[in-house]
Every structure is written in C-alpha cells, then in structure tokens.
Amino acid sequence: MEKLILRRVDRNNEEMILNFGPQHPSTHGVINFIVETDGEVLRKAVPDVGYLHRSIEKIGESTGYHGFMPYTDRIDYVAAMFPNEGYAMVVERLCGIQVPKRALYLRAISTELCRIASHLVSIGTMTMDIGAFTPMIHGIRERETINDLIEALCGARLTYNYHRIGGVAFDLPEGWRDKTLAFLDHFDKFLVEFDRLISFNEIYIKRLANVAVIPGPMAVDYGLSGPNLRGSGVDFDLRKAMPYGVYPEFEFDVPVGKGMFGQVGDCFDRYICRTREMGESSKIVRQALDLIQQAPEGDIVAPKVARNLKVEAGEALSRVESARGEMAFYLVADGTNRAWRVRTRTGSFTAMGIIEAISPGLMVADLVALIASLDVVAPEIDR
Amino acid sequence: MMTFTEYAGSFQKTAVSFWHGLSITMSHLFRRPMTVQYPDRTPLPVRDMLPPRYRGFLEVDTAICTGCQACERACPIACIQITLEKDPANPKQRLVTQFDIDEAKCMFCGLCVEPCPTGSIQHTREFEGSVANIRNLVFRWSDPVKPFPVYRVEKGAEYFARAPLGSLVRARLEAARWNAAAVEYLPPEPPAPAVAPVPAAAPAPPTPTNPETK
Amino acid sequence: MATTPKRPPLSPRAVVLITLIVGVALPGALFALILVLSAATKPLVVEALIRKFAEVDPATWPYTTLVSWGSVVVLALILLTFGAVISGMTVWWEMRVSARMQSRIGYNRAGAAGFFQWIADAVKLLFKEDLIPAEADRMLFRVAPYFVMTGFALTFVALPFGESLIAADLNVGIFYLVSVTALVVVGILLAGWSSNSKWALFGGMRSAAQVVSYEIPAGLATMVPILMAGTLSMQGIVRAQGAWPWQWFVFTNPAATVAFAVFFIAQLAEGNRTPFDLPEAESELVAGYLSEYSGFRFAIYFLVEFGNLWVMGAIAATLFLGGWQIPGVGPEVYAAAKGAGALPAPGWWGLQALSMVVMVVKTLVVLNLIVWVRWTLPRIRIDQMMTLCWKYLVPVAFVTFVFTLLWQVLVARQPALSTISGWVMFAGFVVVTLLFARQTRANIAAAGDHVDMTNW
C-alpha cells in the first residue's frame, strides 16, 4: 500500500487515506482505489487492480482454439459478444478462414445489440451512482428485452458463446427479426424518454458538466478508447477507421463529445456519447436485419474448420470496437492445437490508468462520477 | 461570475427539467410493471417460457449414444467423463461403463452438443437444480452396474429417435431430494487433457484413478 | 431439487381480508386513541371524567394527580407507537410506489400487496446481532440513536391532529418544533464520530453541515406564515387560515407560495431525503453515518428517517395548507357542538374526527410528494448543496420575508387583496395541475404504452 501512496501521510495534517473499495457500491466490481483526501476534496486516487484476476489469458494457452471461446465471454461479461468476436477474428486471420456473409451480418447484429445492452448498464449504473435510482431500473428493463432476444438467438443471457471460429453458432430463429424490429421501435422511444427523465435533469447536468475533464490529447496519450476517447472529442471509431466485418456497408454516425454543457471531455460528454451511440447501434441493427435477407439462409459458419484446430506458426492481431473501447486480441501460434500466447487489450484497463492523473482536486462524489463515466468493468481490467 | 440572466435561468431550467422528470415517473404509476413473478405466479412454468435454444442442464439419451467421446474432447473444462469397456459377454460389443457430467462444473457453453453425431447429448430447458451438496450435481448417465452398449449408427441414417428433450433430466431432478446426502465417491479424475492430445505423443491410457478414494 | 409447490395455508381472499383488517384497524385504533386521549388529557376534562365515573370530588380525591399524569403518559406512549407504526407503513408505501415508478411490483409476498413486510423487516432487525465496532467510542455509539429518537418523538408534542387534538398547544409551537428537530443532527453527528469509520465520519460531517445550513432558509420561510398568522402556536396558525384551498396561506400571499417551495426543499434537506441524501449517499459513502450500525440501533435510525416524512408533511400542512380546517365549519360550530357541559357532546367528537381526517389527508399528500421527488431526482454534490442553500434559498427566503411584511401592511388596508391573490393563485395551481396531468398522459402515449393498472 505504501508503495502505491508513495509517501506516508503526515499525522499532523488534515489528510486521510481512504480505501475506496474493493467492496464498495460504486466501484463496479472489485476494484480498490486508495484515496488521499483532505475533507471532501481528493488529493489523489490511485487505482489498485487485480482483485478479479482469473488468468484467462493463461487458460488460452492450455485449452484448444475452440475451447477458449466460452472463456472469452468472461473477459467482459457485461458485453460478452465483443471478446467472442475479437477472438474468432484473430484465429480466422491466422488460419485464413473466410467467414460467410450471413455470419458477418449475424455478428454485427449480435454485437450491436450487445453494445446497446452494455451501454444501458453503463448509463444506468451511472445515474445510480449520481443518486437517481429510477433511470437505472428503466435501463435494466430495456436490457431485459435484449437479453430475451439474445437468449432466443443463442441460448444464454450473459455468457453467450455465440461466435465460432469461422462464423456463428446459430442462424436467426423464426420470428426473431420482427421481434427485434418491434423492440427497436420501442427502444428509440425509450431513448427520448430517458433523456427527458434524467439526461437533461438540471441536477444531473450540474453533477457531470465540467467534472473530471479529459482533454483530447491527454485521452490519446493515456490510450483511452471507445466512448471515453470520443467523449474527449477525438473522432476515432474502429468501425469507421479500420472497418472489419460488414461495417463498411452500414450507414451510421460516430457521436463525439462536443462539450454540451461545459468543456469537451467532461463526464457529461462521455455519458451523452454512450446514449447517442445506442441510437446509432439501433440504426445498424435495422440495416443489418434488412441486408441479411440477401445472404443465403443457413450459411453461417465456414466449412472445414477442424474440430481439433491446428494453427500454423505465426501471429495475428484483431481489433474490435467493443462497448468499452478497443478490444484487441493478439495471438501467437506455434503449429500445435493450442495457442502459444493469447493477449487481450481491453478498454477498461487503459481507462484505469488515467484516474490517478485526473483525480487531484475532485471531490469524493466526483470520483464516483468519474469511475462511472469511464465505464470500467472489473473483469475486463484484470482478465 | 454569474449574470442575473444566468441566475434566473437556472431556476427556469431546473423547473422545466423537473417537470419532465416528475411527469415521467408519475406516468409510470399507470403503466404495467414488467416483473415476472418467478416461480409461482407465472402463466406457465418458467422452463416452458424459455426459448428452445436455451442452454440448461445437459441431458444424454443413452439409447442413441455412440460412445464416440466427441463431447468429452470438446468440453473446455473437462466436466464430461466417459469410459468405454469391452463387453465381457460379447467381445464385439463395447459398453459405456461411465458417462458422468459434472453439472456443477459445467459452464453451459454448448460446445459438447455441436459435435454429437446423433444428438444424444443436448441442453435442456431445465435449470432448477439447487442442491444442498454440490456432489449431487454429478449426473451419472451410465449405471456402473448395468452399463449401456454403444449405439451403432446405421448407414445413411439422418434421424435418430430421441426421448423427449428434458424428460430424462426432469425425472432425475424430481427423484432427488435437494438435501440428499452426498455421494460417497468423488467423480474420478479426467484421464487426459480436455482437448485431443498433442499429435506427437501417444494418447495416454485412460486410468481413472482418484487419490482421494481408498 | 424436486420441490412440490406448497399450498399456502390461507386462501388469497382470507389474506386480503386479514391485511385489510390489520391495515385499517392498526392505524385506525391509534388515531382513535389519539383522538380520545389528546382531548381527554386536558385537566378540565379529566376532572369532569373523574366526577362522572368515580363519582368523587376531584379536588379532594387523592388519585386525581395520578390519573391526570397517567393519562398523559399513556398519550405519550400512544404517540410514540403511532410514530413507529406510521414510519413502518410509510416504508411499505414508499416501496410500493417506487416499484411502480420503476416498472416493478415491489413488496408482494407477506400479506396482500406485501403489507406485512414492514413488520417482518422490523422483527428481523430486532433479531439481528447488535454489533459495536471494536475501536468505536462505545458510549457515544450507544447513545447516538437515542438522540435521534428523542428528537423525533418530541415533535409529536406539538403536532396538531385536529381542532383540539394536540398533545400541547404551545404558544411557541413552531419554534419548539424547529428546535427539537435539530436534535436529530446531534445524534447523526455522534453516530458518525463514534463509529470510528471514515465513511461514517464523512456522513456525519455532511449531515451537520447540511442540517445547520438549511435551518436558515427553513426558519426564514417559516416566518412567512408566522407573520401572516401573527402567532407561533401551531393551532393559531391553522385557525388564521381558511378551510377552502384559496384561503390557505400558500395561495393567499404570492410570497407564501415561494416560501412553501423553499420550506419544502429545506425540509427535504433536513430530513436527509433525496436529492439531499448526502449523509448516507449509498453510492459514495456506502451508508454514511449508518455504516457501522446494525440490528435495533439501525432500526431506530430507519424508523426516524421514515417517521420524519409524517412530521414534515404535518408541519407543511399546518403552516401552509390550512391544517385541519373543514370547509364551512368555523370555531362557533365547534363551540356549539361542544355543548355547555364540561364533557363534550358526541357531535363534537364527530367534528374532531372529521378534522383529523382532513389533516391526515393533507399530510399524506405532502408525504407522497416527498416520496415522488425522491424516486425522480439524482443527488446533489456537497458544494452544490451549500450553493443552493446560501446563494438561492436564503436570498429567496429573505425576499419572501420582506415581501410578506409589505403584503401584510397592504392587506390590512385592503383585505380584498388576499382574497384576489387566493383565487388567482389557486386557479394557477389548478391549471398547472391539469397541464401536468396532460403531460403525464402524453408521456404514456409517447412511449407507445397505455394505461394499465394490472400486475399488482
């Protein structure tokens, strides 16, 4: 602990050290923040991660290529489609597997629905951290419908294990398209209602605007990605910048923080980026549901992917725009049926790095808002 | 510094945003709650409301199990344990003397279902299996005293008659008491790593040893 | 694994019946006891009762003092019990309402609509282990809940329930209430300090800063009805108002409407209710000053927090909303109904009961307003809490105070002014309410939903 704090707090001054976590209602899992405070004002907050380390990357070296897929669900259990997709993509890249078009559409549909679900949790918990309980339950309510849809699609509500190396596991179930379209119609109305309920509430704006401002260059320096980076006004989205899958076919905007009620890069910008991104994801799902009808039914997985997959020696990298920023999988294969090294780069881990730099001068309540606005999820930090 | 317009405007903004927020929470008083009152106040039993692809407890129909061990190899956490032996009475017939699935370990990923040639192993929509003792969650699909013979697939067969999905698991779940005493033995150690062995080395012989049993 | 669903021992209809009986009879009995006792503990009535039933002369009877003191003690116990029961029922009601606002159902298992949940919760809390942290200041830690409880219980001395239903109509009634409610903060501060937990300390300090600051706008806003009534007595303030809505203080003076808003906000802050629940901010301070409390001591804090809703509602109704006034029933009607004897006639009791109903309804309206606000708004930050108090509420409260001074001078010369203001403000209120109802309906339509009151 003392190493993290770097200096012992003088007993005679008015600072105190506070262990903000690992069991704390607003750390979103088991993360510890060692906080130096002077009354309500923070001197510094140092994140202390590692409480949820399950050595998932190491497990990737001991299970087969197919067998690692369910483990990737556990990297980010709030948005489990993204690690699924990232891992499938890296193996496909290494083996040179061509994924059928229909599978790519299914991947886009499932991941974008998952992005909505993940952002609903994120903004919901954020409103709860700010003190409003009702919007959080409303967000969870909408997520429940998405969970039902994904459950009908792949059989699980949280750890989907839907993507496969070379495609996806299941085709669309009967009637699923209509149900999804009906939900999206409802969801667009919900977004308007949610904005009226909480987003533009005066107290909420006052709590978030001009709080924990991360300027664009600083966000780039610290390697932030995803909505955290875009909230700082940097227009970088892997779906646009380095398109993968079928994303070039879709028309959608990338919401960027504009400093709606304060400086660019404050907590409110990161929050509003997420709410707007949900609307864009809803657009993408609609387009994908239209385009998928052109792809032949049942062609959802590449033929001749061996069950006991052996991968030629080599290395590959895949980058996916996850709900929490860029998720990259780096794989080194040595010609056997197991990976030599699997490495994951996650958005939450890099987001933790910036907290120490941003925290001085914030208040205790602002730290909660900062953590919530960075949308960190503990398993993604520690893997 | 704050101008007077801003000072007065903050009252107005507050009032307007509260107006919207309060009217929305008020309107929810007149809308239907979406709570599903599991377990006893649902229109149907919850397992019947789940989609057909739901991944619940695994079920093995021993009548059509070919004993190919594909599921055992596919399982990433080795929660399936299969042992094959020759029938002493009929040397040509092989028997599955052990087919254990540790549902406590199982992560319900569905990878074992995919390689099954006959659809013998399937996920059901059963999910209510809480027991007081976790060892009771090991499902022994083969009776060690009366092992079942492997199923021979006829050439060109495309359809394999299967017991109704879920009926076998449900029968077992209903027969067991939730607080039954734990079984005396531990499930044996898996013979080999979860995936197929490295090609260079010969496959290790299946030696179901367990250090904890006498 | 195999669990055959057990048949409930009672039929659903019986459960509803029992719930209704308890739900009506329990508060009903308490209200009836308050009705009888708060009128019967007055010395004159006690003497008359002794003369009638014991058939002795109270002046020479040796037990007169005992009886009159005894009845006061019984009344005090009844009021305390009433506080506890109403606090529990408020918890149940708040949970039901908030659940509905969040598309949930809420309590629905113990009794019909989960009504007995608050009793179950209370019993559970009583059986919990009473933990005291090892490094805590043991004495202060134990004492703190009693400060809170005392501050809460003492308010009932001066809370009016009806025309002559008040434990003691102090001539400094509102002043007394303001001072005893401040006792709660002592308990909270003690709890925060003695727990020897940094979270609790944060909560205690926040609470102290908050309650002390908001006493000022609350006090200033209270001055407006005091000026208009010319008395500090709770009953006096009510008697100065009329029974019809356009005769209430909140409408008869434009400044009083603003003062009501200021008073309401300040009351929220003093009661630690959202958006001012900083002292126990769950997402920031775990549970604030309550972090280390468990069992019965925690139950006391909980009881006071929810019981305070009633107190807040009753004070607001008294000061601004016309209290227990029944339309068309003036003081002369009460006097006529009472009759000439020392013991009041039955008709008088009926009037008292009616005035009690009016008061309870108004209190419940304010209580629901507080609940509704809590489940809509987020929490403000501590510096914003201070800004709101000192930069907004205090100046506004001063303006209303000065305006009321001028207004009273004007009304004294031109009494019609107050009537006109009452009508205009009341009409404005009705219009706003209708607009709000329209907005609410529009919200339901905009979400593609429809009015559906099923799934309870």
Interface contact B38, partner C, CB < 8 A: no
The model's pLDDT over C239-256, given as tens digits with 9 standing for 90+, comes to: 888 888 888 888 888 888
Q: Is the peptide bond before C245 cis (omega within 30 degrees of 0)?
A: no
Distance (Å) from the alpha carbon of C442 to chain A's nearest alpha carbon: 11
Closest residue in A to C377 (Cα–Cα): A132
Residues B56 and B46: their CA atoms lie apart, in Å, by 12
CB contact under 8 A, C283 and A132: no
| Of B146, B181, B159, nearest in space to B62 by CA | B146
Chains that touch B (3 or more CB pairs under 8 A): A, C
**CB atoms inside a 10 Å sphere around CB B159:** 7
pLDDT at B196 over 70: no
pLDDT (average), residues B178-192: 66
Nearest neighbour of B28 by CB, restricted to C2, C3, C101: C101
Q: What is the pLDDT of residue B190?
A: 62
Whether B53 and A198 lie within 8 Å, measured CB to CB: no
Report residue C456's pLDDT band, with 50, 70 and 90 as the boundaries: low
Q: Is A11 an interface residue toward C (CB < 8 Å)?
A: no
Q: Is the pLDDT of residue C80 over 70?
A: yes
Residue-level pLDDT at B115: 87
Residue B86 forms beta bridges with which residues? B94
Contact with chain C for residue A193, Cβ under 8 A? yes
Closest CB from B10, B18, B30 relative to C451? B30
Whether residue B142 is contained in a domain is answered as yes
Question: How many residues in chain C?
Answer: 456
Phi, psi values for residue C49, rounded to 5°: -65, -40
Which residues of chain A does C283 touch, with a Cβ-Cβ cutoff of 8 Å?
25-26, 128-131, 368
Q: What is the pLDDT of residue C6?
A: 60
Are residues A29 and A378 in contact, defined by beta-carbon separation less than 8 angstroms? Answer: yes
Listed residue (A233, A223, A255) closest to A115, CA to CA: A255
Contacts of C444 in chain B (CB under 8 A): 27, 30-31
Best mutation target among B27, B133, B138 (most C Cβ atoms within 10 Å) is B27
**Partner-chain residue, chosen from B19, B29, B175, that has the shortest CB–CB distance to C101:** B29
Q: What CA–CA distance (Å, rounded) separates A42 from A54?
A: 31
Residue A266: what residue type? Answer: D
* Mutation for testing the C interface, residue in B6, B10, B16, B24 having most C CBs under 10 Å: B24
Residue A76 has pLDDT above 50, yes or no: yes
Determine, yes or no, domain membership for A353.
yes
A133 touches chain C (CB under 8 A): yes
Q: What is the DSSP string of A21-64?
A: -SS-TTSSSS-EEEEEEETTEEEEEEEE--TT---HHHHTTTSB
pLDDT of residue C394: 92
Nearest CA in chain C to A188: C447
Average pLDDT over residues B181-186: 66
B20 falls within a domain? no
Q: Rounded mean pLDDT of A268-274?
A: 91
Do A25 and C286 lie within an 8 Å CB cutoff?
Answer: yes
B95 part of a folded domain: yes
With a pLDDT cut of 70, the percent of chain A lying above it is 97
What mean pLDDT value characterizes chain B? 80
Task: Classify A128 as helix, strand or coil.
Answer: helix
In this complex, do C378 and A130 lie within 8 Å of one another by their Cβ atoms?
Answer: yes
Q: How confident is the model at residue B202 (pLDDT cuts 50, 70, 90)?
A: very low
A361 vs C: CB within 8 A: no
Mean predicted confidence (pLDDT) in B3-12: 84
**How many Å lie between the alpha carbon of B55 and the closest alpha carbon of chain A?**
5
Q: Which residue of A has its CA nearest to B70?
A: A307
Q: Go through C98-132 and write b for each residue having 16 or more CB atoms within 10 A of its CB, e for each that does not.
A: bbbbbbbbbbbebbbbbbbbbbebbeebeeeeeeb
Q: Do C198 and A25 touch (CB under 8 A)?
A: no
Domain layout of chain C by residue ranges: 11-127, 131-327+345-439
Reading the block at residue A368, the tokens are 């909660």
Task: With a cut of 60, say whether residue C33 has pLDDT above it.
Answer: yes
Residue C8: its pLDDT value, please? 59
* Cα–Cα distance for residue pair A196/A189, rounded to 1 Å: 11
Chain A: residue nearest B114 by CA? A169
Q: What is the pLDDT of residue A112?
A: 92
Distance from the C375 Cα atom to the nearest Cα atom in chain A, whole angstroms: 6
Facing residue for A134 by CB, picked from C102, C383, C384 = C102
* Prediction ipTM score: 0.84
Please report which residue ranges of C341-415 form alpha helices under DSSP H.
346-374, 382-387, 394-413
Is a pLDDT exceeding 90 seen at residue A116? Answer: yes
Count of domains observed in chain A: 1
Domain of A79? 53-381
Better-predicted residue by pLDDT, C60 or A271: A271
- How far is the alpha carbon of B80 from chain C, nearest alpha carbon, in Å? 21
Q: Residues of C with CB below 8 A from B35's CB?
A: 103-105, 455
Q: What angle do CA C376, C377, C378 make, to 5 degrees?
A: 135
The model's confidence at residue B195, banded by pLDDT at 50, 70 and 90, is low
When pLDDT is cut at 50, 70 and 90, the band that residue B186 belongs to is low
**pLDDT at position A9, please?**
53
A7 burial type by CB count under 10 A (0-12 exposed, 13-18 middle, 19+ buried): exposed
* Residue in A37, A39, A76, A42 with CA at minimum distance from that of residue A56: A76
- pLDDT above 60 (res B213): no
Q: What is the pLDDT of residue A146?
A: 92
Choose the weakest-confidence range: A1-10, A313-322, A360-369, B73-82.
A1-10
pLDDT interval class at C434 (50, 70, 90): very high
Mutate to test the interface with C, among B23, B47, B137, B169 (most CBs of C within 10 A): B23
Cβ–Cβ < 8 Å for A227, A277: yes
How many domains, chain B?
Answer: 1
Question: At A231, which CATH number?
Answer: 1.10.645.10
Strands, DSSP E only, in A190-306? none
Which residues on C lie below 8 Å from A192 (Cβ)? 446
pLDDT for the residue B134: 80
CB contact under 8 A, C455 and B173: no
Q: Which residues of B touch C436 (CB under 8 A)?
A: 19, 22-23, 26
Is residue A204 a part of any domain in this protein? Answer: yes
Stretch B159-183: mean pLDDT, rounded?
80
pLDDT at C5: 56
Q: Which has the minimum average pLDDT: A328-332, C33-37, C384-388, C418-422?
A: C33-37
Lowest mean pLDDT of A78-87, C189-198, C345-354, name the range: C345-354
pLDDT band at A184 (very low <50, low <70, confident <90, very high): very high
Residues B132, B158: contact at Cβ < 8 Å? no
The token pair at B46 is 């919850």
pLDDT band at A12 (very low <50, low <70, confident <90, very high): low
Do residue A202 and residue B10 have CB atoms under 8 angstroms apart? yes
For chain A, the chains sharing at least 3 beta-carbon pairs closer than 8 angstroms are: B, C
Nearest CB to B35 within list C105, C449, C451: C105
Q: What mean pLDDT value characterizes chain A?
A: 87
Q: Is residue B33 part of a domain?
A: no
Q: Which domain holds residue B106?
A: 46-177
Pairing of strands B138-140, B148-149: unpaired
- Asked if C152 and C307 count as a contact pair (C-beta separation under 8 A), the reply is yes
Q: Does A144 touch chain C (CB under 8 A)?
A: no
Q: How much is the average pLDDT of A9-27? A: 75
Residues in chain B with CB shorter than 8 Å from the CB of C1 are 128-131, 173-174, 176-178
* Phi-psi sector, A108: left (phi>0), alpha (psi -120 to 50), beta: alpha
Shortest CA gap B109–chain A (Å)? 6
Distance to chain A for B150, nearest Cα, Å: 22
| Residue B41, domain member (yes or no) | no
Which segment of B72-81, B155-164, B170-179, C58-67 scores lowest on mean pLDDT?
C58-67
Q: Which two tokens stand for residue B194?
A: 């979860």
Q: State whether B37 and C108 contact (CB < 8 Å).
A: yes
Partner-chain contact A202 B73, CB within 8 Å? no
Whether B69 is covered by a domain: the verdict is yes
Which residue in A has a C-alpha nearest to residue C99's C-alpha? A134
Which residue of B16, B24, B125 is the best one to mutate when testing the A interface, meaning the one whose CB has the most A CBs within 10 A?
B24
- One-character DSSP codes across C8-50: PSS-HHHHHHHHHHHHHHHHHHHHHHHHHHHHHTSHHHHHHHI
Task: Write the pLDDT tens digit of every residue in B16-59.
Answer: 888 988 998 988 888 888 888 887 778 888 888 888 889 988 98
The residues, any chain, with a CB within 8 Å of residue C445's CB and separated by 6 or more, are none
Of A24, A130, A141, the CB nearest to C379: A130
Domain assignment present for residue A27? The answer is: no
Answer yes or no: is B40 within a domain. Answer: no
Do the chains contact at A66 and B74, CB–CB below 8 Å? Answer: yes
**Closest-CA distance of chain A to residue C197, Å:** 10
| Burial class of residue C44 (count of CB atoms within 10 Å of its CB; 0-12, 13-18, 19+) | exposed
pLDDT at B192 over 80: no
Out of A141, A197, A308, whose CB is closest to B21?
A197
Helix (H) / strand (E) element for B98: namely: strand B94-102
What percent of chain B has pLDDT above 70?
Answer: 84
- Whether A24 has its CB under 8 Å from any CB of chain C: the answer is yes
- The mean-pLDDT minimum among A357-361, B176-180, C124-128 falls in B176-180
Q: What's the gap in Å between the CA of B59 and the closest CA on chain A?
A: 15
Q: Residue C195's pLDDT band (boundaries 50, 70, 90)? A: confident
Is the whole model's pTM more than 0.95, yes or no?
Answer: no
Does residue C181 have a pLDDT over 90?
A: no
- Give the CATH number, domain containing residue B133: 3.30.70.3270
Distance from the B202 Cα atom to the nearest Cα atom in chain A, whole angstroms: 15
CA distance linking residue A333 with residue A326, whole number of Å: 22
Percentages of chain C per state (helix, strand, coil), in multiples of 5? 70, 0, 30
Q: Which of A263-267, B177-181, C89-93 has the lowest mean pLDDT?
A: B177-181
* Cβ contact, residue pair A155, B51, below 8 Å: yes
- Contact flag A62-B193 (C-beta cutoff 8 Å): yes
